[in-house]
Amino acid sequence: MEVTAAMVKELRERTGAGMMQCKKALSESNGDVEKAMEALRKMGLSAVAKRSERTAAEGRIEAYVHAGNKIGVLVEVNCETDFVARTDDFMRLCREIALQVAATCPSWVRVEDVPPETVDATTRKIRERLSGDGIAGEELEKQIARELQRFHEEQVLLQQPNIRDQSRTIGDIVTEAAAKMGENIQIRRFAYIRLGGAA
């Protein structure tokens, strides 16, 4: 099937990928836009993995104060260049992350940030509760793993389902943004403040 300029334009608008990448993906997928989008996504994810070791020292601090001025959030999101930090796409990403933190109040950015003693204590509580319900053996271990996964989805920002699209985690959104912008993007830290809450 012949790849037309209109097809390339549509794919570029939907993915933000370069013109030559779009043309190649469309050629390889015989003009199927959905297949071409999937191919571009896979190409982008492999490139993101290669970029993840590069230094991300630029970026922005996004502030969000919830209606009524009862909740405030600061989020630091890093990228590699000041050029990307000033783009609308990067600013939208930072805003999305700040809204997520305001809505869900996570405790940590990534799974590796969860202290081992917290994981141990949580696992112990789950094990005691399930054992008390008469669950044992392999089924007990499976349920413990499932409940730990739920704990991470509630408490770890990158593991949380996005409040606007539950089919994607915040980690997915950051990875997709890094693929689209062509830079290593990292959420460095956040602060959540509730009026009258603990200091």
Q: Check residues 115 and 3 and name the one with the higher pLDDT.
A: 115
Cβ(190)–Cβ(96) under 8 Å? no
In the chain, the amino acid numbered 36 is A
Q: Which two tokens stand for residue 83?
A: 């050029």
Q: How confident is the model at residue 50 (pLDDT cuts 50, 70, 90)?
A: low
Q: Tens digits of per-residue pLDDT, 91-144?
A: 999 999 999 999 999 999 999 999 999 999 999 999 888 888 887 888 888 988
Burial status of residue 104 (CB atoms within 10 A of its CB: 0-12, 13-18, 19 or more): middle
Q: 189, 157, 192: which is closest to 78 by C-alpha?
A: 189
Which pTM value belongs to this model? 0.71
Q: How far apart are CA 52 and CA 185, in angstroms?
A: 8
- Tokens 């930090």 sit on residue: 85
Q: What is the rounded average pLDDT for all residues in the chain?
A: 85
Q: How confident is the model at residue 194 (pLDDT cuts 50, 70, 90)?
A: very high
Q: How far apart are CA 3 and CA 118, in angstroms?
A: 54
Q: How confident is the model at residue 46 (pLDDT cuts 50, 70, 90)?
A: very low
Q: Is the pLDDT of residue 58 over 70?
A: yes
Q: For the CA atoms of the chain, what is the radius of gyration?
A: 21
Taking the alpha carbons at both ends of the chain, their separation in whole angstroms is 63
SS3 assignment, position 2 = coil
In the chain, the amino acid numbered 48 is V
The percentage of the chain sitting over the pLDDT mark of 90, rounded to a whole number, equals: 51
User: How many residues are given for the chain?
Assistant: 199
Q: Check residues 6 and 171 and name the one with the higher pLDDT.
A: 171
Q: How confident is the model at residue 48 (pLDDT cuts 50, 70, 90)?
A: very low
Q: Check residues 57 and 127 and name the one with the higher pLDDT.
A: 127
* Per-residue pLDDT, 16: 60
Q: Is the pLDDT of residue 61 over 50?
A: yes
Q: Tell me the average pLDDT across 43-66.
A: 70
Distance set, CA 23 to CA 13, 34, 44 (Å): 13, 13, 15
| Cα dihedral sign, 165-14-182-39 | positive
Q: Which two tokens stand for residue 71?
A: 């909740």
Q: How far apart are CA 133 and CA 111, in angstroms?
A: 28
In the chain, the amino acid numbered 199 is A
Q: Tens digits of per-residue pLDDT, 17-41?
A: 666 677 788 888 888 878 877 776 6
Backbone angles phi, psi at 191, to 5 degrees: -130, 135
* Per-residue pLDDT, 180: 85
